[in-house]
Chains A and B, each alone.
Chain A
Amino acid sequence: MKQTSSIKGHWELFKEYVKLNLATALEYRFSFVVQTITMVLNDITWLIFWWIFFTKFGSLNGWQIEHILVLYALLNLSYGLAGMFFGNKNHISSMISEGRLDFYINFPKNILFHVLISRSNWFGVGDALFGLILAAITLSLKQWPLFLLLTLSSTIIFVSFAVLAHSLAFYFGNSSETSRSLNMGIVTMSSYPSQMFGGVAKFLMLTVFPAGFISGIPVQLLYQFNWFWLISTILFSLMFLATSIYFFYKGLRKYESGSMITSRI
């Protein structure tokens, strides 16, 4: 038997999980469809909010409704992809506190990668589709390559942020509520024009709470291209990913396999 865990091996694993997750989703077709529709309706209500807002005020620090549409396209597509292919990201903290990481540790594969791909949030399909449709409406063909590249970096940041937030459970026991709120926080923060923030908020958004790199800067880049910010965004997403991996593995040393955790933080 070949005893490596090559990139190819991980890719095969990834495909197998996509297949299995799809099979599970098909077992529950009805709720899958309902969830997808719900997500799209949810996105539409937010767009109605912005439509009301811009009908009244015209613009906000130079942003118009079309910027919001692009922002929602990028946000939905990247968040949807993160959920579809790395759907376990939102369950890491409960897996830690309930000792469900054991399973992954006993396999000859990268633990974090294996954890992330092994579950899918199929309602991410709704988000992703909605994002693609919005992008098709608002973007010109020339903007697409850049749009997809930025979507990729936003997806990476979403996943990394979730890993960071949920790894708190290694240190504090059951942190699912806090981790979930942090995640909801970053999504919420990313769904507003980042140009309106200032001061400390702006600093946080470009560092530990990187909503700026998820949506604000990418949208700006699509309208006013600038090499410096493109490279910064991509470098940042990679660095953020590395940090989250480091933090996860450092925490893993403290993993208690659900043995002794009795209460919540």
Chain B
Amino acid sequence: MGLTKYWESCKISLYNSLVYKADFISNSLFIGLIIFIFVYLWKAVYGSGHGVIEGFTISMMVWYFVMTESIVTAPGRLIEEIGEDVQSGEIATKLNKPYNSVLFKYAYNMGQTLLRFILTFLVGGIIAFLFLGGVEINWLTLPLVGIVIILALTLHFCMMMLLGIFTFWFEDAKALNFLYNKIIFVFGGMLLPLEIFPQWLAKISAVMPFSFVAYHPARLFVIFNLNNFIRTIFLELIWIALFSGLIAIFYKSFIKKISINGG
């Protein structure tokens, strides 16, 4: 037993998401469109005489964006999903089952998340490749970047889970989802790498947890550097630990509230 139930949960979510092929196809089309827009945006910028901007060539810039986009959009509308469970009290009915609800949700979600990550990366990668060709990558470092990405997705999950639990007090999950996403878009460095930011803003954004979801992993993907790698993993783990602690605290107080109100 032990961890196998979580693995099963992960598998079921994979099957389940295959049923929703419309979501999948239209989702990848939409992501394809955004990457397509950014290809043109960067072409316009680099076209006016820049060869390398802050260490990024144009293809590095586009591949950077493909990576951030793939990570950030991978969990889908997780906050809304958790919000529904929380507000309907359904999460409480799952309490008497012999598993940790949060971990179970993590496993369930990771199945879909990884699948979506791969799909987006493929779609985006094809577009980037067609317009700009490949990017120079040291294949040996890819497994290391892989670890950073998994941790980034985990941190992403933790923050979304926390916000999902918050919907118990602040009911509008959609609004929370929207705002969280926008913060990652801009301050997490999904749209633009922090090198483009004014220095003061870059410094603040670099230490915030949001940039460990998007900027740091994607930068390691296009420009690998061992020191940065170690530093990123270390800080990712710290943020994950911190958010897990917060989830534990708020989850407990949420459970208490429901058992008092009877769900």
Residues of A within 8 A of B (CB): 31, 34-35, 37-38, 41-42, 45-46, 48-49, 52-53, 55-57, 60-61, 174-175, 177-178, 180-182, 184-185, 188-189, 192, 196-198, 201, 264-265
Choose among A46, A53, A197 the residue that contacts B40 (Cβ–Cβ < 8 A).
Answer: A197
A35-B174, A42-B182, A197-B40 given; name 20 further pairs at CB < 8 Å.
Answer: A31-B172, A38-B174, A38-B178, A38-B179, A48-B186, A49-B186, A55-B198, A60-B41, A60-B45, A175-B22, A177-B20, A178-B22, A178-B26, A180-B26, A181-B29, A188-B30, A188-B33, A188-B37, A201-B36, A264-B20
Contact of A61 with B196 at beta-carbon distance under 8 Å, contacts A42-B182, A189-B33 already known: no
Contacts of B30 in A (CB 8 A): 181, 184-185, 188
Q: Name 11 interchain pairs, CB-CB below 8 A, sorted by A.
A: A38-B174, A42-B178, A45-B185, A49-B186, A52-B197, A60-B45, A177-B20, A178-B22, A196-B43, A264-B22, A265-B21
CB distance from B81 to the nearest CB of A (A): 16
Choose among A52, A60, A175 the residue that contacts B196 (Cβ–Cβ < 8 A).
Answer: A52
User: C-beta contact mask, B16-28 vs A, less than 8 Å → 1, else 0?
Assistant: 0000111101110
CB distance from A176 to the nearest CB of B (A): 8
Whether B27 lies near A45 (C-beta < 8 A) is: no
CA distance A60 to B198 in the complex (A): 18
Cβ-based interface call for B191 (8 A): yes
Name the CB-closest residue of B to A173.
Answer: B22
Count A-B pairs with CB separation below 8 Å. Answer: 87
Whether B192 lies near A192 (C-beta < 8 A) is: no
CB distance from B212 to the nearest CB of A (A): 19
Whether B196 lies near A45 (C-beta < 8 A) is: no
Contacts of A37 in B (CB 8 A): 175
List which B197-217 residues lie within 8 A (CB) of chain A.
197-198, 201
CB distance from B151 to the nearest CB of A (A): 25
Cβ-based interface call for B44 (8 A): yes
Cβ-based interface call for B171 (8 A): yes
CA distance A143 to B43 in the complex (A): 32
Contacts of B186 in A (CB 8 A): 45-46, 48-49, 52
Whether A52 lies near B198 (C-beta < 8 A) is: yes
Choose among A52, A181, A192 the residue that contacts B41 (Cβ–Cβ < 8 A).
Answer: A192
CB distance from B243 to the nearest CB of A (A): 22
Whether A45 lies near B26 (C-beta < 8 A) is: no
Contacts of B29 in A (CB 8 A): 181, 185
CA distance A92 to B201 in the complex (A): 43
CA distance A185 to B26 in the complex (A): 10
Name the CB-closest residue of A to B54.
Answer: A56
CA distance A185 to B33 in the complex (A): 7
CA distance A198 to B183 in the complex (A): 30
Contacts of A196 in B (CB 8 A): 40-41, 43-44
Whether A41 lies near B198 (C-beta < 8 A) is: no
Contacts of B44 in A (CB 8 A): 60-61, 196
CB distance from A96 to the nearest CB of B (A): 15
List which B44-81 residues lie within 8 A (CB) of chain A.
44-45
Cβ-based interface call for B34 (8 A): yes
Name the CB-closest residue of A to B198.
Answer: A55
Contacts of A197 in B (CB 8 A): 40
Choose among A49, A174, A192 the residue that contacts B37 (Cβ–Cβ < 8 A).
Answer: A192
Contacts of A49 in B (CB 8 A): 185-186, 191-192
Contacts of A57 in B (CB 8 A): 45
Name the CB-closest residue of A to B33.
Answer: A185
Name the CB-closest residue of A to B50.
Answer: A57
Whether A34 lies near B40 (C-beta < 8 A) is: no
CA distance A174 to B196 in the complex (A): 43
Contacts of A189 in B (CB 8 A): 33, 37
CA distance A189 to B30 in the complex (A): 10
Choose among A52, A175, A181 the residue that contacts B27 (Cβ–Cβ < 8 A).
Answer: A181
Whether A177 lies near B23 (C-beta < 8 A) is: yes
CA distance A178 to B28 in the complex (A): 11
Contacts of B22 in A (CB 8 A): 174-175, 177-178, 264-265
Whether A34 lies near B175 (C-beta < 8 A) is: yes
User: C-beta contact mask, B195-239 vs A, less than 8 Å → 1, else 0?
Assistant: 011100100000000000000000000000000000000000000
CB distance from A211 to the nearest CB of B (A): 10
CA distance A35 to B176 in the complex (A): 10
Name the CB-closest residue of A to B27.
Answer: A181
Name the CB-closest residue of A to B41.
Answer: A196
Contacts of B179 in A (CB 8 A): 38, 41-42
Name the CB-closest residue of B to A41.
Answer: B179
Contacts of A192 in B (CB 8 A): 37, 40-41
CB distance from B196 to the nearest CB of A (A): 5
Whether A41 lies near B40 (C-beta < 8 A) is: no
Name the CB-closest residue of A to B28.
Answer: A181
